Amino acid sequence: MPLQTASLTVPLLCDLSRNFPQCCATTPAITISICWLPFSLLLSLSMAALLGSVFLLVLQTYAAPPEFIQMWPSAPTLGPGYLGNETVTPSLVPPPGTSKHLPHSIIIGVRKGGTRALLEMLDIHPEVAAAATEVHFFDWDENYSKGLEWYRDLMPYSYPHQITIEKTPGYFTSPSAPARIRAMNSSMKLLLILRDPVERVISDYTQVYFNRLENHKPVHAIEDMLVKNGALNTRYKAIQRSLYEMYMRNWLLHFPLEQIHIVDGDMLIYNPLSELQKVEQFLELPPRIVATNFYFNQTKGFYCIRSDGRERCLHESKGRPHPPVNSTVLGQLRSYFRQHNHNFYQLVGRTFNWG
């Protein structure tokens, strides 16, 4: 019986390897005359093609950038005991030569002080590996009880020349966080970003206001939250969080001031490069962040980031416009914080333009 030809496909090769004569007798002619070749040569060609495919697949995997290698989240993201409501950086196959480390520096706060902006801007630096989420390890008992290995596993992969940084704004106001961080690393370098306490109160209210709107919950005017029975409601959580002096005293019981760098959050908005250069010096990083890494977005009204050929701004939930506040109530707020601010200045040995 005359031999026929067939195209070289994986299913056909499997049939050829099992029943070469029958395959050649029944397969219609298409392109490549394979059946005229010796059977042993056909098998060699088949194996070479298969090994070549496997090699290309492996090469593609290890040549891909980390963002394409990483495949799925390493932990859930909701509720106490988890990671908060921000996106978790996926992780499956680490880039070659990387590993996970406990943080070398932590952004400890303050809430609505600009912690996300600070972390995003520091992430420009090639020697910084930034954790993607607020871990809440040192301020949530349920997370802290899981141990340091659980905490380490939530850090990003980093190269030997990089430092790892995580940020959780709740640490600053947590009674237990300072002692717990010191127990992990007494030489830890801490970053604290603060802004005008009055502005921070209003920003805190604004975030809660929009969160309640999105969840179809009732909202209250800011004056109703700030004033109770005709007097300033100093028990309001947003006001309590702006008493920097009170929380700073607790941190100074566990860390010397030299290990706590205070970033001026108001200056970071208007002159980010100046503040970030100070942070580079504090963290003993080579100066790599430059003016061209930032551009002013007229629409959003604040600076955005330019790096690696990409431009990006903070999430739309950041930098929301503040509601107008009654001038009398605003005056009460400023009067209340004046002495607290003065005490804070004395505590840290510097002043801020907080009115």
Question: Residue 168 is part of a domain; what is its CATH number?
Answer: 3.40.50.300
Do 95 and 31 lie in one domain? The reply is no
Q: What whole-number distance in Å separates Cα of residue 236 and Cα of residue 333?
A: 12
56 and 101, same domain (yes or no): no
At residue 19, the pLDDT reads: 43
Residue 298 domain-assigned (yes or no): yes
208 in any annotated domain: yes
| pLDDT recorded at residue 48 | 54
Q: Are residues 182 and 217 in the same domain?
A: yes
Flag whether 16 is in a domain: yes
**Residue 114 labeled ligand binder:** yes
Domain that holds residue 181: 88-348
Q: Which of 163, 162, 110, 160 is nearest to 139 (CA)?
A: 110
> CA-CA distance, 324 to 40, in Å (whole number)?
84
Task: Please check if 195 is assigned to a binding site.
Answer: yes
Residue 76 inside a domain? The answer is no
* One domain, residues 290 and 217: yes
The verdict on pTM exceeding 0.85 is: no
- Is 116 annotated in a binding site? The answer is yes
Question: In this structure, are 40 and 170 located in the same domain?
Answer: no
- 3-state SS, residue 91: coil
| Rounded (10°) CA dihedral 56, 59, 61, 66 | -150
Q: Do the domain assignments include residue 235?
A: yes
Q: Do 295 and 168 lie in a common domain?
A: yes
CB 12 within 8 A of CB 23: yes
Q: Report the domain count for the chain.
A: 2
334 is in an annotated binding site: no
Look at residue 52 in the predicted model and tell me its pLDDT.
Answer: 52
Contact yes or no for 16/27 (Cβ under 8 A): no
- Whether 157 maps to a domain, the answer reads yes
Shared-domain flag, residues 95 and 134? yes
106 and 33, same domain (yes or no): no
Asked if residue 256 belongs to a known ligand binding site, the reply is no
pLDDT score, position 298? 83
Q: Mark the ranges of the chain whose per-residue pLDDT is less than 50.
A: 1-43, 45-46, 54-91
Picking from 25, 14, 45, the residue whose alpha carbon sits closest to that of residue 6 is: 25
69 belongs to a structural domain: no
Residue 90 CA, distance from chain mean position: 11
The Cβ of residue 212 has, within 10 Å, a number of other Cβ atoms equal to 13
If asked whether residues 184 and 296 sit together in one domain, one would say yes
DSSP 79: S
- pLDDT tens readout for residues 166-184: 999 999 999 999 999 999 9
Selection from 339, 166, 181, 348 nearest residue 248 by Cα: 348
Question: Which residues does the annotation mark as catalytic?
Answer: 112
- Domain identity same for 241 and 105: yes
End-to-end Cα distance, the chain: 100
Contact, 172 vs 243, CB < 8 A? no
User: Per the annotation, does 321 bind a ligand?
Assistant: yes
Radius of gyration for the chain, computed over Cα atoms and rounded to the nearest angstrom: 29
Residue type, 340: H
Q: What angle do CA 8, 10, 11 make, to 5 degrees?
A: 105
Q: How far apart are CA 302 and CA 304, in angstroms?
A: 7
Same domain, 284 and 338: yes
100 assigned ligand-binding residue: no
Q: Is the alpha carbon torsion for 37, 41, 46, 50 positive or negative?
A: negative
Q: Is 115 annotated as a binding residue?
A: yes
Please tell me whether residues 173 and 47 are part of one structural domain.
no
Distance CA 256, CA 268 (A): 24
Dist CA 54 CA 52 (whole Å): 5
Asked whether residue 52 is marked as a ligand-binding residue, the answer is no
The count of other CB atoms within 10 Å of the CB of residue 31 is 9
Encode pLDDT of 103-141 as tens digits: 999 999 999 999 999 999 999 999 999 999 999 999 999
Residue 139 lies in a domain: yes
The number of residues in the chain equals 355
